[in-house]
């Protein structure tokens, strides 16, 4: 074992992955896990930060996508103490990544616990992704909204209005999307929950 690998994880040599290269890894991971869903991955850069924004319609749930992409975010944010903190990851030979370590925010009276994980593969590299945050943005097609509307009507709920409007992706119109509306807040909440928690991944057949 090399001297570098004998060191604690936090003391080992790190490689810094640019936001542009991180976005490429995110695209590859999404294609691997959700081959039948079209994703738009955009990198927004500012003078002191960079953010990756992911857009898609229907397909997997937000949480399913976050499980794949959240490891590629180099920063976290603790709203309880208004503090940003770093994440480091293990980059595997196939381009996938797993968590490596973070100091968290508990030491600063925050809510995020520190963590540290050993090297998962002999050829894994300790990296810090320079994209600070990875945001996910899911929209729905008119077809999917109608499908959910019909299911809720069959379950005894009143019919909702389907609104169709432009689907904006990174400042440009990429097509049309739809939403469901009802004057009742309670029914609106039920409908939003039905959309958000349902996967609409198309079969490969």
Give a yes or no: residue 44 inside a domain: yes
Q: Are residues 151 and 53 both part of a single domain?
A: no
> How far apart (Å, rounded) are the C-alpha atoms in residues 61 and 201?
9
Is 73 within a domain?
yes
- What does pLDDT average to in each consecutive run of 10 residues of the chain (205 residues)? 56 92 98 96 90 97 97 96 96 95 94 94 95 96 94 90 92 92 83 91 61
91 and 71 in one domain?
A: yes
Range of the domain at 152: 140-196
Distance, in Å, from the CA atom of 132 to the CA atom of 97, rounded to the nearest integer, reads: 16
Classify residue 38: in a domain, yes or no.
Answer: yes
Answer yes or no: do 184 and 158 share one domain: yes
Q: Which helix (H) or strand (E) holds 110?
A: none
pLDDT digits 0-9 by tens, 125-180: 999 999 999 999 999 999 999 999 999 999 998 888 999 999 999 889 999 999 98
Is the Cα dihedral 58, 61, 64, 67 positive or negative? positive
Going by C-alpha positions, the residue among 62, 54, 66 that lies closest to residue 197 is 62
Q: 7 with 85, same domain?
A: yes
């Amino acid at each position: 074992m090399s001297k570098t690998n004998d060191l604690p994880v936090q003391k080992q040599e790190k490689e810094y992955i640019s936001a542009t290269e991180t976005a490429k890894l995110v695209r590859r991971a999404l294609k691997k896990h959700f081959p039948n869903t079209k994703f738009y991955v955009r990198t927004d850069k500012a003078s002191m930060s960079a953010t990756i924004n992911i857009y898609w319609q229907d397909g997997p749930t937000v949480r399913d996508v976050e499980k794949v992409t959240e490891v590629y975010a180099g920063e976290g944010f603790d709203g309880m103490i208004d503090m940003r903190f770093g994440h480091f990851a293990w980059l595997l030979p196939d381009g996938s990544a797993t968590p490596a370590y973070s100091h968290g925010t508990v030491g600063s009276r925050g809510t995020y616990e520190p963590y540290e994980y050993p090297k998962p593969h002999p050829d894994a590299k300790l990296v810090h992704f320079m994209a600070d945050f990875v945001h996910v943005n899911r929209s729905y097609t008119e077809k999917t909204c109608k499908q959910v509307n019909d299911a809720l009507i069959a379950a005894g709920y009143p019919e909702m209005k389907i609104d169709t409007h432009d689907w904006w992706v990174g400042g440009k119109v990429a097509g049309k999307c739809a939403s469901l509306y009802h004057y009742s807040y309670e029914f609106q909440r039920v409908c939003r929950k039905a959309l958000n928690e349902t996967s609409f991944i198309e079969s490969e057949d």
